[in-house]
């Protein structure tokens, strides 16, 4: 099977491929005009081409801890022929420690993982809330107020809080001001749905970045609280402020993504009415806690 590595690839070629996958699977989230999602702006690209289009594709990035992480997909009409297995095997030949995402815990991915003796090393839940009952009012800690994000002013402050709040997270902890600026150019970005908790000196101590999907579903995109401001209910208040915004905007439901082993966060979301609807998993040839 002819698989080739590239240091650069035509974004239009990748976009056409991702749109074909999305039409069948509902994911990844990519539009015909928006920039490619961050996870597909890889440093290396593994390709299987069928004429002038991609039939299989993997991209490798480096997470916040220096580990190779990969997105790997097969075009719907090329599935069932061993291409996924071949892509994974080749990827692991070059990057034996790579962690490979399977979105939606796809059964085909599980079969490939079993065939190649891969282990699940991470699971991220997608949780969902259908708006029904009234939401509680946010209760803000003393001295804290909330305002909207201002493009061109608040990027560095959000990055600073994000870095402290997510120093344990492989992707979110690597967020940069340039990443925020790039997102500001996307069609879904709305500063009115990007809430900043600030102290009396207007210093950012937490944030809730909401998102709206093309089907109208809202998302708790990121909630981050500075560790020095944790423990006083600020995360819950920020979450409720964002949910109220999404509900007032007419969103019928809200989703979020959370690490399955982040039990405090899962408990907070469950108390607000969220339930697990799906999961993404990462596979690796190195078992959990392995070396």
Q: Which residues are annotated as a binding site?
A: 72-74, 171, 211, 219, 223-225, 230-236, 257
Which residues are paired to 205 by β-bridges? none
Instruction: Tell me the binding residues for acetyl-CoA.
Output: 72-74, 223-225, 230-236
CA angle 278, 238, 186 (to 5 degrees): 65
Q: What Rg do the C-alpha atoms of the chain give, in angstroms?
A: 20
Q: Is residue 77 packed enough to be buried (19+ CB in 10 Å), middle (13-18) or exposed (0-12)?
A: exposed
CA dist., res. 29 & res. 217, Å (int): 13
CA dist., res. 17 & res. 4, Å (int): 16
Q: Is residue 34 packed enough to be buried (19+ CB in 10 Å), middle (13-18) or exposed (0-12)?
A: middle
| Secondary element (H or E) of residue 111 | helix 107-115
């Amino acid at each position: 099977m002819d698989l080739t590595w590239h240091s650069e690839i035509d974004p239009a070629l990748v976009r056409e491929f991702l749109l074909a996958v999305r039409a069948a699977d509902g994911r990844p989230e990519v539009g015909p005009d928006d920039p490619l999602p961050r996870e597909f702006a890889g440093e290396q690209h593994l390709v299987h081409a069928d004429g002038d289009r991609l039939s299989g594709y993997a991209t490798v990035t480096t997470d916040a801890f220096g580990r190779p992480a990969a997105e790997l997909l097969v075009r719907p009409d090329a599935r069932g022929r061993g291409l996924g297995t071949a892509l994974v095997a080749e990827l692991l030949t070059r990057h034996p420690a790579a962690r490979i995402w399977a979105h939606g815990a796809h059964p085909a991915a599980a079969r490939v993982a079993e065939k190649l003796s891969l282990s699940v090393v991470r699971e991220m839940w997608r949780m969902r809330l259908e708006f029904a009952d009234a939401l509680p009012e946010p209760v803000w800690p003393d001295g804290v107020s909330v305002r909207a994000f201002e493009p061109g002013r608040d990027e560095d402050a959000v990055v600073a809080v994000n870095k402290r709040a997510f120093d344990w997270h492989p992707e979110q902890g690597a967020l940069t001001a340039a990443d925020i600026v790039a997102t500001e150019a996307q069609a879904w970005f709305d500063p009115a749905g990007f809430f900043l908790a600030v102290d009396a000196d207007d210093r950012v101590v937490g944030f809730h970045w909401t998102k709206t999907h093309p089907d109208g579903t809202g998302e708790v995109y990121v909630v981050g609280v500075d560790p020095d401001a944790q423990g006083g209910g600020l995360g819950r208040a920020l979450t409720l402020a964002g949910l109220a915004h999404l509900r007032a905007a007419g969103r019928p439901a809200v989703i979020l993504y959370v690490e399955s082993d982040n039990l405090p966060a899962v408990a907070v979301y469950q108390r607000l009415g969220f339930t697990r609807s799906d999961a993404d998993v990462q596979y690796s040839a190195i078992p959990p806690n392995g070396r």
